[in-house]
Chain A
Amino acid sequence: MVRTPPSSISSPAPAPAPAPATASRSLAPLVLRPPPRWHRAAELVIRALALSAIAAIVLILFFVAKESLPLFTDSEVRKEVTPSQMWLAQQWPGYDEPDHIWQPVSDVPKYGLWALLVGTLKVTLVSLLFSVPLGVGAALYVSQYAPPRVREVVKPAIELLAGIPSVVLGFFALMVMATFVQDAFGLESRLNAVVSGLALSIAVIPVVFTISEEAFGAVPRSYVEASTALGAARWQTTLRVIVPAASPGIAAAVALGLGRAIGETMIVLMASGNAAILSASLTDSVRTLSATIAAELAEVVFGGAHYTVLFFLGSLLFLTTFVINLLGDWAIHSMKVKLGVAA
């Protein structure tokens, strides 16, 4: 039995009283009223609320940038640190050579950015290294090889995976994965770029999978049929026709996965070791931009140099993910155009 949704304008008693047969002739003339005045007001409210998304993004941009401005304008802050000091190696007292060091909480506060950037890069690289092949591979399997029943299990499973809060993934990395990796490879630091990168890839896989799967699914059947008719084996068609046709979508998937990885905070906060070490080794502890903000913001003096720098890091993060997401969205859009789905 089909259940009907409750009608929002029906009177509370929907069951009509049986009217006498003669009533149909003696009805008063029908006078319909125009819609009540408040409808127009409600429409204005809807239009106003629709601006909220624009307002939100503008406010975020404005307030995060505003709190990072003192880095460029405030003399007190600039006594402690300037943007150029963050990018270039500085000669610190007690060190032989100029070095990039991030050590804001110390007698001589140091704000060398590179350690953080490299840390972010390492973790992101590791996560993409794992999540892209796995995500794209699984998407290929689900769209080309999996029988329908398997598909019905895999897709909800990946949705469940996507639903795991990042703090839980960080917890799992910290408690279980770190020990496992350390025992398996005999590493010095338990928490490092590899562990946090692996955990991060778990969060990124659903993003890569979903978009890639959509991309594979959107490849027109006619391409596949043409290839098969020319005598290509299934694997040849897949690799030479389907994957290239879906490549803008895959690029978008990678871009959005990258954006997700760079912006992720809790996993790296819990599993990366939080040591701002500038090194090429993946097995050293690292500090990422996002984790730095999360770890240090609680202790800063409002309006001080450290506070300002952290907001500056936030602006950097925002801009980076903004650009990456823009590229990813553009790639998705051009994929849709190429396949004739959108104008």
Chain B
Amino acid sequence: MTITGTTTGTPIVEAHGLSKRFGKTQALDGLDLVAASGQVVAVLGPNGAGKTTFVRTIATLLRPDGGTLRVDGIDVTKDPEQVRRTIGLAGQYAAVEEAMTGRENLKMVARLFGHSRRSAAAAAGTVLDQLGLTDAGDRLVRTYSGGMRRRLDLGASMVGAPRLLLLDEPTTGLDPRSRIELWDAITAMVNNGTDVLLTTQYLEEADQLANQVVIIDHGKVIAQGTPAELKSQAGRDVIELHACNPAEIPQLATILAAVGVEDPRVDPSTRRITVPVDGGTAVLPTAVRAIDEAGLHVEDIAVRRPTLDEVFLTLTGEPVDEAA
């Protein structure tokens, strides 16, 4: 599968038939992906889909069992050294040293990338400023909030000015405000011309950050496209209601079936009924009116964005947790 980006030339990531097995688990199962340079690619998938394995393989931390993988045209198995000069990695943990200041952390990484003392200090200053951490720069990281640590970790991955930034679930575990701050920071990287490949479990995050979204499951690409394409394909808005009375569930389901584009899904244990719809907010009043006219009662009814589970259900025909 090919993702066309805004610039032509060597793809920044090019994987063909990539496979990796851990014991009984086939983490990557013939993954094919060609990502053009000049964009943000989001790799979206549930836990255990192979996202982290894919990133670790690109980062030369894992050696693939089969297939080929090139980063900016460089084969990761043949010339890992050169690949390491091309990438910056921010893993799932904020791998920053707590007993050092933010500035010291960045200077150390810059020095490892070969900067002189003076130029490492300058690069650390630039990055701190860029991430809004200048005031906290000379404090020990121990005193930082979770969001600040993640930002510093992002800074450490970019202080060597990599061509490709690899971010493995950059915002997992952050509060909404910190998440938005990190998104802003990532956007700034992109504006600066760095290619980014990030993994996420959140559809919203992929939507916010990426030009191209790749959905993977069981180590394979199952869908890809722009966020808009994927949403129109699989990410329809959902009307969700909770019935007051279990006896009314069948009637409510019939009403939702009339406004939805697929069969409604009923969860009897929570008395919840959901249905994907086209043009969510426009359809909601119709549904409410129909429920009212039929004299039925609901605890609540709302339109919401689809969850990743629902996208998966649509794309694969099976829910995330049962898809194993």
Q: Do they bind each other? A: no
Question: Hey, which bits of chain A sit against chain B, CB under 8 A?
Answer: none
Question: Hey, which bits of chain B sit against chain A, CB under 8 A?
Answer: none
